Amino acid sequence: MTRQQRLVALAGNPNAGKSALFNALTGARQKIANYPGVTVERKAGRMYSPAGEPIELVDLPGSYSLDPSSPDEEVTRKVVMGEFEGETQPDSLIIVIDAANIEQHLVFAQELLSLGLPTVIALNMVDLAERDGLVLDPAALSEALGVPVIPTVAVRRKGLDELRAALASLDGAPAREPRPSIGLTERRVSAEAIADAAILSETATRRLHAHLDRVLLNPWIGPVILAGILFFVFQAVFAWATPFADALEGAVAWLSQLVTANMGPGLVRDIITEAVLAGVGSVVVFLPQIVILFAFILVMEATGYMARAAFLMDRMMSFVGLSGRSFIPLLSSFACAIPGIMATRSIADPKDRLTTILVAPLMTCSARLPVYAVIIAAFIPRQSVGPGIGLQGLVLFLLYVAGIIGAMVVALVLRRSVTKGAGSGFIMELPKYQWPQLKDLAIGLWQRAWIFLRRAGTIIFIATALLWVLLSFPKAGPGESQVDASIAGKIGSAIHVVVEPIGFNRDIAMSLVPAMAAREVAVSSLGTIYAVDSDDEDETAEAVTASVAARWSLPTALAFLAWFVFAPQCVSTIAVARRETNSWKWPTFMVVYLFALAYVFAGITYWSAVALGL
Amino acid sequence: MTLDTLKPGQRARITAVDTDSIDPSDARRLLALGLDTGARVAIAHKGVFGGSDPIAVIVGRMTVAVRRAHARALSVEPAAHTEEVQAGA
């Protein structure tokens, strides 16, 4: 019988540095999927034993105990106990312990050790513990716990070879006897005793994080700093991305010219230039903005600041019946509602979680950036309204604020109606501050960028290509415009009847349908519509901006922006909401209320703008 | 007295946890984070913009955020004298 590849699981408390260790052991060879039947992410990768044998390593969700209080912890419990259907019990465990928080992490470690699986303990972040004046004796720990204890610094790749060797030495060793499981209080008492025995020296160094917290969690200065950081992020998203976006745009235009110059006119050339390059190209140029936004979010998470932001936001969130815990999913939703909705799994209270899922699409996701960017560039003058504050950035900031206020009001209403119930608590560890590691950031950013590019290459490409086909046939007769004659034009005219009262023209009406696939398709659709209409071969984002500026009135443009603050134009978000709530009831509710809000607010915006004579 | 009435910087020891007055899953989480009888605690920060929620509690080597409603369930005995806390040091 051939021996199956070994399965090793990484387990431990949240903030023990598990993900960093996982990245260090597996490199970029990672596979992210879901556990069957639940929506918890299964992160697996391949590492190698010292003998070169491949081992599958899974990174289990961080837990405080095997007595689960969230869906994440439930998965960890079931996997390590071998009760998870469709997932084999790991052959061995690597328990990750934060050296600087050893008493606390030993409480869960003892519970895991009582299972009797072959185990190695990675005493992680020993460098940070030493910086704080805490020196530990791994040998004493190993003796007390009866398993190998390897000091590691995952981010500096220290101790990895030793860890691999210790893991290999477990292979074939007799299984440890499961120990009788002891209660929480007993585990805590023995954790303290074991830790005390392993501490070689402890000096009361002033901890860096206390100093930082004194400023960043200050009741008055803290929130101001947070607001400043968020404002800076949104300014940076617009300003820093410009040179990269311009370069990408130039590349798309150059490709388009190249194709035009080297191919005879015909259907294939039209498909390449008008559908592929104009459509997909106009979306891909927003990659720099998305990468910058995700970079800030990843840095805030990696440094430990995100938990502080949740702390500062808790009071505000409690006014609308949520807690600071909802802040992290909602902030992630600024990049994309899909990871945001998935991040709600750490919210223990079901009603809090449901409310957060329902309002997450109101956060301005990066897919809306292309839409906002085109309209802002077309209608808002590039002028300065203060030192370092551009008018365009300010308008973008206000659009984000509109989404946030919308989400807060909706949450307040939901918490008093459909998701009524006692407000849940806010209990959260504030991890210590750390420098973000370039490699971990790079892996995280690459994963996000790849998801976006894959969307551009599949959903956006198909939606744009389909629209191009609908726009190109049947062919217009003499004296008739191609868009008027096309199937898409007919569909657009029908929808136009519904959206005309809120100031939308037929081009917008046509772009709304393919934009259901993904919001940014609205831009590529407009790109394709105007490319077909003008027979212009390079309708890049810049050209869309010019077309829009020439053809739309300002009230129409503003109404279009208001529409996109609310409209649930993303099939993937609806699908994720369906999966996470395990019913069609809530996604349906979400779609209906969001469309209603979008229609009403676009209308109010349009008629107010018209009344003001804009 | 209870944890919510401590002032920032004040040290104390938890003498009892009233698990009946709070949600069972919240109680479990508090215990899992080490806010249990016998734990030495100190208040690091309290509230935002002059309010008194949430509270950042130092327990052992960790900082944990809780709300006043939870802190009220934790009976504490203040340390003999108040001193400036160097956050866990």
Nearest by CB to residue B87, choosing from A210, A220, A314, is A210
Greatest Cα-to-Cα distance within chain B, rounded to the nearest angstrom: 34
Residues near A524 by beta carbon (within 8 Å), at least 6 away in sequence: A278, A279, A280, A282, A283, A460, A463, A464
- Partner residues linked to A120 by β-bridges: A94
Q: B70 by DSSP, 3-state: which?
A: helix
Cβ contact (<8 Å) for A219 and B50? yes
Looking at per-residue pLDDT, the higher value among B89 and B23 belongs to B23
Task: Tell me the CA distances in angstroms from A249 to A287, A352, A535, B43, one per residue in order.
Answer: 11, 42, 19, 53
| A75 in Cβ contact with A61 (< 8 Å) | yes
Rg of chain B (C-alpha set): 12
Average pLDDT over residues A333-353: 79
Judging contacts by C-beta atoms under 8 Å, the chain B residues touching residue A97 are: none
End-to-end CA distance of chain A: give it in Å, rounded: 78
**pLDDT for the residue numbered A580:** 80
Which residue, A101, A120, A127, A85, is CA-closest to A11? A120
| A3 in Cβ contact with A52 (< 8 Å) | no
Is residue A377 pLDDT above 50, yes or no? yes
Cβ contact (<8 Å) for A213 and B26? no
Mode of pairing for the β-strands spanning B11-17 and B40-46:
antiparallel
Is residue A219 pLDDT above 70, yes or no? yes
Judging contacts by C-beta atoms under 8 Å, the chain B residues touching residue A101 are: 60-62
Dist CA A342 CA A601 (whole Å): 28
Domain ranges of chain B: 3-78
Superfamily per CATH, domain B3-78: Ferrous iron transport protein A (FeoA) (2.30.30.90)
pTM for the predicted model, two decimal places: 0.77
Nearest by CB to residue A311, choosing from B23, B26, B65, is B65
Model confidence pLDDT, tens digit, residues A226-277? 999 988 887 787 678 778 878 887 888 888 888 888 887 777 887 777 767 7
Nearest by CB to residue B29, choosing from A209, A222, A427, is A427
Dist CA A191 CA A567 (whole Å): 52
Cβ contact (<8 Å) for B45 and A218? yes
Percent of chain A whose pLDDT exceeds 70? 91
**pLDDT for the residue numbered A358:** 94
Sign of CA pseudo-dihedral A569, A339, A540, A377: positive
Dist CA A119 CA A139 (whole Å): 15
Which residue, A283, A268, A351, A175, is CA-closest to A541? A283
Cα A189 to chain centroid distance, Å, stands at: 39
**Confidence class of residue A401 from pLDDT cuts 50, 70 and 90?**
confident
Dist CA A288 CA A242 (whole Å): 8
Q: A1 by DSSP, 3-state: which?
A: coil
**Confidence class of residue B84 from pLDDT cuts 50, 70 and 90?**
very low
Place of tokens 């947070």: A226
Looking at per-residue pLDDT, the higher value among A370 and A18 belongs to A18
Cβ contact (<8 Å) for A427 and B63? no
Model confidence pLDDT, tens digit, residues A185-207? 888 888 888 988 888 887 765 56
| A315 in Cβ contact with B47 (< 8 Å) | yes
**pLDDT for the residue numbered A207:** 65
Model confidence pLDDT, tens digit, residues A535-558? 555 556 677 788 888 888 999 999
Is residue A284 pLDDT above 60, yes or no? yes
Q: Show which residues on chain B lie within 8 Å of chain A, measured between beta carbons.
A: 22-23, 25-26, 28-34, 36-37, 44-51, 53-54, 56, 60-67, 69-70, 86-89
Cβ contact (<8 Å) for A315 and B47? yes
Judging contacts by C-beta atoms under 8 Å, the chain A residues touching residue B54 are: 311, 314-315, 324, 426
Judging contacts by C-beta atoms under 8 Å, the chain A residues touching residue B66 are: 425-427
Is residue A604 pLDDT above 90, yes or no? yes
| A333 in Cβ contact with A360 (< 8 Å) | yes
Average pLDDT over residues B52-62: 87
**pLDDT for the residue numbered B26:** 82
**pLDDT for the residue numbered B86:** 45
Average pLDDT over residues B22-31: 82
Q: Specify the DSSP element, H or E, that contains B76.
A: strand B74-78
Is residue A336 pLDDT above 80, yes or no? no
Cβ contact (<8 Å) for B45 and A219? yes
Is residue B65 pLDDT above 90, yes or no? yes
Does the bond joining B54 to the residue before it have cis omega, within 30 degrees of 0? yes
Q: Any idea what DSSP says for residue A460?
A: I
Looking at per-residue pLDDT, the higher value among A121 and A366 belongs to A121
Q: Specify the DSSP element, H or E, that contains B63.
A: strand B62-66
Interface size, chain A vs chain B, as Cβ–Cβ contacts under 8 Å: 133
**pLDDT for the residue numbered A74:** 86
**Confidence class of residue A455 from pLDDT cuts 50, 70 and 90?**
low
- Partner residues linked to A134 by β-bridges: A202
CB contact A433 to B (< 8 Å):
no
Cβ contact (<8 Å) for A425 and B26? yes
Is residue B87 pLDDT above 70, yes or no? no
Q: State the Cα angle at A355 between A351 and A358, rounded to 5°.
A: 140
Is residue A341 pLDDT above 70, yes or no? yes
Q: A304 by DSSP, 3-state: which?
A: coil
Q: A147 by DSSP, 3-state: which?
A: coil
**pLDDT for the residue numbered A2:** 46
Neighbours of A180 (CB within 10 A): 6
Looking at per-residue pLDDT, the higher value among A122 and A426 belongs to A122
Model confidence pLDDT, tens digit, residues A406-427? 999 999 999 988 888 766 678 8
Shortest distance, CA B41 to any CA of chain A (angstroms): 14
Model confidence pLDDT, tens digit, residues A123-159? 999 988 888 788 899 999 999 999 999 999 988 889 9
Mutation choice for B interface testing from A202, A427, A428, A434 by most B CBs within 10 A? A427
Which residue, B4, B9, B1, B5, is CA-closest to B88? B9
Judging contacts by C-beta atoms under 8 Å, the chain A residues touching residue B67 are: 314, 318, 323, 425-427
Is residue A339 pLDDT above 60, yes or no? yes
